[in-house]
Structure 1
Amino acid sequence: MTTDLSTLDAADRWDGMAKELHKQEVAYKRDVHSTATRETWQGLSADAAAERFHVTLKEFQKAQVEAKAVASLLRDARTQFVGLRKKLESIREDAVAAGMKVSDKGLVSHDREKLGYGSRDSLAPAPEYLESVRKAVNSWQQSIDQLVKDVGEADKGVEIALQGVVIDSDMTDGTFNGFNGNAHGDTEKYGADAAAQARTKTDGWTGEGKVTATGPDVGAVAIGPKYGKEGTLKAYADLFHVTAEGSRTNGNLTLSGIADGYGGARATANYGLTDQGVVGKAEASAGARGLVEGRAEYGHVGAYGRGEGFAGAEAGVAAKVGKDEVSVGGKAFAGAKGSAAGGVEVAGIGIGGTGEAWAGPGAEAKFGFERDEDGTFKLGGKVGASPILGGAVGIEIAVDPGKVADAAGDAANAVGDAAGAVGDAAGSVKDTVTGWF
């Protein structure tokens, strides 16, 4: 009842975004896309460029479709919520006019104070009067409960639509997880599609996932420190990079996993003195590496396991001191190694360990503290050595303030809801008992 629905007016901004994307589409088609179709550029390179330019042009067009669909969904959501809230306000007013009281939590009771003393004395003892009051209270309660349920269903429908509108299901357009060229602004259709999918799932599980693939690619980047940013040097020759991730959810239980594979050679360096601190690091590697990680979460409790493999050569050194990170480390290795890691998390606080087996000469040591982009604090370290055969061990501790706050909030809400239920029930009993006298 107190939600500020004016934020849904962002629909106008999404329409504006579609217009700006159209301008970029026109400019791209004129200045970039057309270069690969002119007679002045022919051959394999022109054919390869034309194919990529065409994919990008299509992405500009699909982005406009998606932006317009989001705008339509936001307007539809506002219309639904405003209408349902007015219905809820109206039925509450009707209930009060009919002699009822409605609490802030939507609980209905008979308002005895609206009866005169004479009416209370003459009507209260009559069993048929008490029965009529009970039926009236139940009827108004059912009407209000149904409207509250309607609001919840509308809210869920909007959530499903906003999640579905950005999913690119076309795997033949040259992009993975690009813009959705089939997006539409019909909230009910997204809900119907989700319901149809749910009917095909007999075990109660729902899931989602995506796959991205890039390469081969070669390039180099050199950016000097400026405008408060670090300097970066990078050269790479990527043969392939494939990532697949997905999750399955059933109630409070969520199972998720990711698999990542990379082959190629890279050399990077970052340096500079900025408002974020002092950093100096360099790393080079060549070979193939793979990672598989699985995670299980139930409410505020979770566990994870991770396996990694690497074959090739790598070396690096790093040091950083800043408000979000303090770390130092170095490594050098040639050969093959495999690692396994696992840990648990409770209410946003996690602890885990890592063990590695190495075949080949190398050494590694690192220790650090950081706060990542999600606000999670991480503390960990690893040390290892191998003349020919050896390994490494490590520890990792993480604290997610958001999850800690959510867990504390859920606990507080549970206590508050219990106390509120007791208070509402006591008030209802008081009203009923008072009405008998």
Structure 2
Amino acid sequence: MNTDLSALTTAAERWDAMAKEFHKQEVAYKRDVYGLSMGPTWTGLSAEAANRRFATTLKEFQKAQVEAKAIASLLRDAHTQFTSLRGKLASAGKDAVEAGMKVSDQGLASFDTAKLSQAERTAWVHDPDYQDSVRKSVSSWQQLIDQLVKDMDDADKDVQTALQAVVVDGDINDGTLTGFNGQAQGDVDKYTGQKPVGTKTDGWDSEGKLKLTGLGAGFSVTTDPKYGKEGSVKAYTDLFHATAEGTLTRGDWKLAGIADGYGGVRATANYGFNNKGVVGKAEASAGLRALTEERAEYGPYAGVYGRADGFAGAEAGVNAKATKDELTVGAKAFAGAKGGVAGGGEVAGIGFGATAEGWAGPGAEAWWGYKRDDDGKFHLGGKAGASPIVGGAAGFEITVDPDKLSKTVGDAADAVGDAVDSVGDGIGSVKDSVTNWF
């Protein structure tokens, strides 16, 4: 009843302003970027490929305006609905008071005996029929107030559903699966009845994202002369790359999954000799890759994972790295198809995993080392395999997560401390009781 609903219209004005800014960027992008692939000075396959990608981005600027305007309209629609429903609720409360009721700040109706005349008070105390009529009246007003509160709550949920659904890109043919919504609607009723996106299901919080890219090619050379010789060379032609991720969380429980698919040709090489260490790596591959992985974790205390992957094509590479965060060495060469499975578990931040692969085609692979990833987790492991025609590979990995380990140790120490405190309190209680005896 005390919420400042004007915040909704203020936000709507800012979303309209955002749409205008997107329009400015659309005009600039169409002139300075998209226009390059449309002029006479750039022709051929590269211009055609660029034009398709530029057109996708140009459409995103256009769809962003549609989405922003729709959100502004939804906020104004919400303001209109909320204002009307709150007015009805306030009017019902006023009518109830005029009918001899009291209405608390929590919306509870009751009979206001303070306004009774002496005759009415006598009837209230001694007349069963009068008492029954009062109970029915209180019940009737309570039902009306409860229904109006429910109507407001339902409207609030409908607005929530609309605001979550309006930003979902449902067009799978526009070049992107997670872009702006070009079919966004500015009417809350258009989304009524839809299931809210990313909300709790049976107590679980769900999140997910999907990324898809199409044809692409590139070549780059980088150098950094600050600390001696180091640099990289990269060339690639991507046919597609799709990644889908999702998580479910509930309290300390977390379930996560990822699926990734890639097709294309890549070649990379980098070298370095600087204050961080020595790095040398070269790798080339052509073919199709796919991977899926699932994890289940309970806080920092325990977790398990399973993974399956496959590859069809050819690959070769060699690497050596020696830095303060990594020491690895390895080499591989393979042509054909292979598939593998992996699994493992973790307790208190210390994990162990194993992998096994089957190969159809000639090849060999071996690597060993340890490294510390971006999350601070340490990995120690190795892998080896060979295949004249049919063969395979096997490997293992030990991981240590300092954050989870310290958290588990800390929780254990707290538990021991609580136990000691409980024992101490118990001993103190016994001592006090014995003392009281004397």
Superposition TM-score, scaled by structure 1 size: 0.65
Provide the residue aligned with 1:242 in structure 2. 241
Provide the residue aligned with 1:213 in structure 2. 213
Provide the residue aligned with 2:329 in structure 1. 332
Provide the residue aligned with 1:144 in structure 2. 145
1:186-335 correspondence to structure 2 within 5 Å: 186-191=187-192, 194=194, 210=210, 212-220=212-220, 235=234, 237=236, 239-240=238-239, 242-245=241-244, 257-262=257-262, 264-266=266-268, 286-287=284-285, 290-294=290-294, 305-309=305-309, 313=317, 315=319, 328-335=325-332
Distance 1:344 1:365, change over 3 A: closer
Provide the residue aligned with 2:16 in structure 1. 15
Give the gaps of 5 or more residues in structure 2: 196-205, 333-337, 358-363, 386-392, 405-438
Q: Check conservation: 1:168, 1:179, Cα contact below 8 A.
A: yes
Distance 1:309 1:139, change over 3 A: same
Distance 1:248 1:307, change over 3 A: closer
1:84 paired to 2:88: no
Larger relative CO (CA 8 A, sep 6+): 1 or 2? 1
- Structure 1 stretch displaced more, 236-245 or 163-172: 236-245
Distance 1:79 1:101 in 2: 28
Q: Check conservation: 1:257, 1:293, Cα contact below 8 A.
A: yes
- Structure 1 stretch displaced more, 379-388 or 172-181: 379-388
Provide the residue aligned with 2:434 in structure 1. none
What is the one-letter code of the residue matched to 1:340? Answer: A
What is the one-letter code of the residue matched to 1:394? Answer: I
Q: Check conservation: 2:220, 2:234, Cα contact below 8 A.
A: yes
Distance 2:149 2:164 in 1: 23
Distance 1:387 1:30, change over 3 A: closer
What is the one-letter code of the residue matched to 2:367? Answer: G
What is the one-letter code of the residue matched to 1:360? Answer: E
Q: Check conservation: 1:293, 1:304, Cα contact below 8 A.
A: no
Provide the residue aligned with 1:133 in structure 2. 134
What is the one-letter code of the residue matched to 1:137? Answer: V
Distance 1:35 1:161 in 2: 38
Report the identity percentage.
45
Q: Check conservation: 1:214, 1:242, Cα contact below 8 A.
A: yes
Provide the residue aligned with 1:391 in structure 2. 395
Distance 1:26 1:380 in 2: 46
What is the one-letter code of the residue matched to 2:28? Answer: A
Provide the residue aligned with 1:180 in structure 2. 181
Provide the residue aligned with 2:95 in structure 1. 94
What is the one-letter code of the residue matched to 1:261? Answer: G
Distance 1:272 1:11 in 2: 53
Aligned residue among 365, 380, 384 for 1:360 = 365
For residues 99-157 of structure 1, the C-alpha deviation after alignment (integer angstroms, 9 at most, x for no partner) is 33333332323233333566434422322122112211211121111112111211121
What is the one-letter code of the residue matched to 2:368? Answer: A
For residues 393-417 of structure 1, the C-alpha deviation after alignment (integer angstroms, 9 at most, x for no partner) is 3347687xxxxxxxxxxxxxxxxxx
Distance 1:54 1:361, change over 3 A: closer
Distance 2:346 2:309 in 1: 22
Q: Check conservation: 1:280, 1:319, Cα contact below 8 A.
A: yes
Distance 1:272 1:14 in 2: 49
Distance 1:352 1:121 in 2: 78
Give the gaps of 5 or more residues in structure 1: 196-205, 226-230, 321-327, 371-378, 400-437
- Structure 1 stretch displaced more, 284-293 or 56-65: 284-293
Distance 2:281 2:111 in 1: 74
Q: CA RMSD in A?
A: 4.7
Provide the residue aligned with 2:30 in structure 1. 29
Distance 1:337 1:51, change over 3 A: closer
Deviation at 1:307, TM superposition (A): 0.8
Distance 1:127 1:55, change over 3 A: same
